[in-house]
Structure formats: structure tokens, C-alpha cells
Amino acid sequence: MHLKRMVIWAIIGTGISSVVTQLLTIREFLTQFHGNEITISLVVFCWLLLTALGTLTAKAVRPAWPRLYAMVILAIAVWPLVQLVGIRAFREWFFLHGVSPGFYPILAYVGITITPYCLMAGFILPYSQHLLNRRGYPFESGDLYVTDSIGDIAGGVIFSFILVFWLKPFLIISLTSSLLIWVAMFMLYKRRARVFLVAGLLVSAGFYLLSTNSEVERLTLTGQYGEIVDYRESPYGRIVISREGPQHTLWESGTPLYSDANITSSEEKIHYPLCQLPQVNDILLISGGLGLTLKEVAKYDPSRVDYLEIDPRLIHAAARTGLIQPAPFLNIINTDARQYIKDADQRYDAVIMDLPEPHTFQINRFFTDEFFASVERVLKPEGIFSLNMGYSPNYISEVRRKKFSTVFNTAQRHFDHLMILPGDQAYFLMSDRVLSADIPDLLQERGIPTTYIQGFFQGDVTKDRIAKIGQSLNRDEPINTDFEPRLMTIVFTEWFSKYGASPWYFILGLLILTVLYLRFIRWEEYVLFSTGFVNMGMEMLVIFSFQVIYGYVYLKVGAIVTAFLLGLLPGAWAGQRWRLRIGSKILMTEALLFSMLLGFFVWIFWVRLGLHPWSFLGFCFLFSFFCGFQFPVMARLIGEKHSPAAGCLAADLWGAATGTLVAGTVLIPFLGLTYTLFFLMLVKASSSLLILYRYRFRIAV
């Protein structure tokens, strides 16, 4: 009986390891590719598709060998460390250093680095059932689904609510792989496989030696960052301070936030807006408060500067290396800037925003109509708001023109006067007071000395360049909103056109393969395919919606994934145990899933009110509950004599992979959240119609 217990523990351990490894991999690729949320879709797509292929390979393996099983689960335990090292190390070999790669190179890189693990994880689940059944232990497909869900949920909960807050990735892997290592060693010991046992012990010892060594982990990051002065993992992102000669650079999630040698940026972002005001008392600084920034602010003798930075560990890292200095007027607030501004009672003379280019949904939420309305509310009468965007002095591309026009048209709805100054970046100044472009004279009147502006402003910020930007603006460009992120459409169009690539070719090829696949599967498996498609498409929608509203999906992606996993277990259990006619079960879950899609559609299209984070997690749980409910029902409808586990798992995973890619890579970036949800409703409607047709002729009720 020990074999059955060990296999069950191995299934649970695989679930823990696979979910934690997936979440670590998503966070790793977000860091590698500067927070680009499309990488979430690409990682999840490749993960699901490759796992489905691994599941199908189990059909071809007929021998039931416990020794083989033990060695595979040992490989699953130690490979996440190899995978993480590979992602970090091979990036510099796969791409040119400092170059932003395109869609297809990223897709290829993701696929290559995660293939071994996904194939093994997909293979082991149906092989576990095969091993038990061949050894005389009854274990149905529903039992497999429920047991795997226990491991998935445990992994998601442990990672999202405990490990992510305290440990670095290597240590997390060493902990979450321990159950599999213990099971593998015990099985080899019981089978008296001495050679394999010794080999397994040596491999395990090497695994723990490397995964618990913090210097080894730091070494794996030097290829991307160079000499590392400080490195720490935060729930909000990876924080690295690197050094090149005398210059220090602070990175968050792979994006350089500040360099202490850039005096130009510090002077421009502070003096362009503040010199417009006759008196400066209260300032709100949204990011960008490191290095020389506060020194320049101090020249105006403010009474209060509220500095918003969501991640306290970033502030600690900056303070430790001297990139931020204490000041009597400084009040550091660790919270999300949008939420703070939405709830703030304080009013400010100036709001200065210094964020990276809006190339992600996380940053885009600070360039929308809704955010500008909130900023307008917290400004004092005739206060000023400034933001900056990338700019090339001698050439304004069509993409840059569209970006500037979109931001300008959006901001114009809330401020009487707008001005764009073409400095090191393009600085948007917005106020209800008249603005002046003669920055040196304004500074001279106030007796404020500068290093860069006084010497170089007149040569860089010329009347011709100011006029050129103004003439390039298209007043017909649509505005940017939270749920219709026009800037993101422009960004992704630019990204694909820059590399002469289009995701449509890949999507078309995937759809052709999917049609061929659907041609040869059972209709019951198509229902699971559509449910997997809609479930993961919905997961992408929730992730992007959460990013739009709260902006810290790097932290909460684990909680969202866990909430989707959490509903599968009770759903599958209810599908197995609930004494109701099969036809009624299927039709009921189809109706409930469609109703939830419709409800989310109404919220996005009409209501658009901010929801509490727990509302998102509750929706995820309930939606996945009904998805999980269907799996054992459809497997039982097929009948255990047809060994439905591999086919049902493959259909579910293939649908989930396709839904992830279509929703997260194409529909959301290019068509927005509303049209994506409408498409998911059509997919689920197709399975409902099929069920109604089969219900009439085939299903026993």
C-alpha cells in the first residue's frame, strides 16, 4: 500500500513544484523583459501547451516501472533550479546585451528554456494513474484531478502568501522541491535500487548546495546587470543596484529607474514645473525621488514633500547605498500612487511624476483620463502637474506623434493650459495657470542656481523644437482610458512593426493546428477544451484588469493564479459527489459560466467601478469552481474503460494554452478588454450549443 501513498504524495508534490516554478518563471521573465505583460501570456501559453504535449506522451508509455517513476519525479524536483539559471544565463547569449527583443525571439526563448520541465510535469500525472492501475490500485481520472489540484492550491498559497514575501527564488525552489526529493529517495530505497539511490542522493546534495548559496544566486545575475552592489527580491519586483566605474544605477524588475550621474534629468523634471509657481509649499512626488532630485527640490524651500514609492524595500536599498538622503520636509509614503491620489485629502501646489515610458499596462494607468482627473482633484487652484516621456530632438516618428497626441488630448480634458518642453525628455506641463517656456529667466528671478539648465537650456529647448512638437499633435487622436488603453495599442503596434513581425501568423498557425486537433477529439473533450480556453482567457482578463486598477500584478499574479486553482478542487469534488443527472450538471455549469462572463462584461462596459482586490479573487475562485466541476463529469460521461484522463487533460490544457495566447497577446493589447470578453462569450456559447445538440440525442439524463 506504500506505493499508492507515495504516488499520491508525488502528485501533490508535483502540483506544488509546478505552480511555484510557473510563478517564479513568470516573475523572472517579467524582470528579463522590463515588465512587458505580454510575457505573462507567452509563458503561460508555452507552459500549458508543452504540459499538454507531455500529457499525451504518457499514452505511448505502457510499462509501469516504479524506478522510472522515482527518477522522473527527482528530475522534476531539481530541474526548476537549472531552468532559472538557464533563463538568466542564456539571455545574454540569446540576445544582444541591451537590445529589446521582439515577439518571436521572446516566444522562442520562453519555449526553449521551459520545455524540459513542462514535458516532465505533463507526463508524470497520467503516468501516475497508469502506474497505480497497473499495480492493482484503483485510481480514477477524477481522483487524479482532485489530487493534483490539492498540490496546485498548496503551491499557490504557500508561494503567494508566504514565500514571496521572505525568500529569494533559489531558496523557494529548494523548499518546494523537498517533498518530491523525499518521495523519490523513499521509493528507490524501498525498491532496493541502490545505484539509482546513490545517484539520486548525489544529485540532491548538489541541488541543495547550489540553491541555498546566496552568492551563487547573485552570480547568475551579473550577466544582465554587471557589478552588483546590492540585490534583494521584493514582492513588487527585483531590486538591483549596479556599479560601473563611479556611476550607480538602480534597477527595478529589469528597468533602470535612476542613475546618480544624470544631473540633467534631475534638474529638468524639478525646475521646469516648480519655477512656474510663485510659491511652493506642498509637493507630491510620484517616484523619481532618488539621487539629486531632493537636492533640487530643496532649493524651493518646501514645507512638505510627499514622496510616493510603493515598494519599501526599494527605499531601503536606495538609503543603504546613499541614493536617497533624509530631509526635514521629506515624507516617504509606501503605497500605490493611484490609490493614494484617489483617497487623498491633502492638496498640493505641484504633482511631479517621474515614471518610465508607458510601455506596460502598469505604467499606462498613470497616463489615462481617469488618473488625470484624480490629479486635477488633489491640485490647489492654479497648481501644476508634470510628466515626462521619451523624446528625440531631431525627429518625431509617427508612433511618437501618436503617443504625444494621445496624452495631450487626454490631459486637455482636465487642464486649461498645456505645454510640452523638449529637453532630455519631453516634459508635459499642465495647469490652469498660464505657463512660460522661458525657464532660465524664471529661475533667475527666483535666484535658483542650476548647472545644466543655465548653461544649455537655450541651445536645447529652442522655439523651433517647441513649435515642431506642437505642430505634430493630432487633435483627432482618441484619448487614453483605463479600459480602452489607446497608448498600449500604439505601443504594441510599434513593438511588432519595429521587428517586422506580427503575432497573427503565429496565431493563424496555432488555430490551424487547433482545428486539426479538434477534428479528432471527442465532443466531450471539446467541452473541456472550450472551458480551458475560457478559463485561461478569463485569467488573463483578470490579470490585466487588476493591473489597470491596482498596478502591482508582479505581487498579485500569484494570488490571482492561486484563486483560479483554488476553485478547481472543490469544483472537481462537487462534480464527482453531487448526485444529479449528468445532463443537468453539464447544462447548469455552462449556464453559470456564461452568466459570469456576461456579468464581467457588464462591469467592464458600463459600470467600470473600482473593486476591492478580494472581489477579483472571489470571482476567480467561483469561475474556476464551475470549470473544475466539469472535468470529472465529462470524464465519467466518456467512461473509465476508455482511459479518459490523458485525453481530457490534454483537451483542457490545449484549450487553456490557446485561450491564454489569443486573449493575452492579441485581443487585449489590440482590441481592449471589452472585445476580448465578447470573444470568450462566443467560445463558451459554441460549447453550450454543442451540448444542447448532444443533450437532445446522446446524454443519459
The structural domains of the chain, with segments of one domain joined by +, span: 1-218, 222-252, 262-479, 502-701
Is-above-0.75 flag for pTM?
Answer: yes
Give the pLDDT score at 503. 67
In contact, 172 and 163? CB cutoff 8 Å: yes
Fold matches, 1-218 and 502-701: yes
Give the pLDDT score at 129. 85
CA 575 to chain centre: 31
CA distance 482 to 496: 22
Give the pLDDT score at 601. 87
Give the pLDDT score at 701. 42
Give the pLDDT score at 65. 85
Spatial strand order of the sheet with 255-259 comes to 227-234, 237-244, 247-252, 255-259
Residues 6+ apart with CB under 8 A from 452: 263, 264, 267, 268
Q: Sign of the CA dihedral 689, 694, 696, 701?
A: negative
Q: Whose CA is closest to 174, among 163, 165, 184?
A: 163
β-strand pairing of 348-353 with 379-389: parallel
3-state secondary structure labels for all residues of 75-99: HHHHHHHHHHHHHHHHHHHHCCCCC
Report the chain (701 residues): mean pLDDT per 10 consecutive residues.
85 94 90 78 86 81 83 96 93 73 85 95 89 83 81 88 90 96 92 88 96 92 88 86 83 79 83 94 92 89 94 88 86 90 92 89 89 95 94 82 95 95 91 92 90 80 86 91 85 72 73 81 81 89 79 65 82 75 77 90 73 80 88 70 63 84 82 86 88 61 42
CATH number, domain 502-701, options 1.20.1250.20, 3.30.2130.30, 1.10.3720.10, 3.30.70.360: 1.20.1250.20
Residues 6+ apart with CB under 8 A from 256: 249, 250
Q: Whose CA is closest to 50, among 125, 111, 127?
A: 111
CATH number, domain 1-218, options 1.20.1260, 1.10.20, 1.20.1250, 3.40.50: 1.20.1250
Residues 6+ apart with CB under 8 A from 90: 109, 113
Instruction: Domain 262-479: give its CATH code.
Output: 3.40.50.150
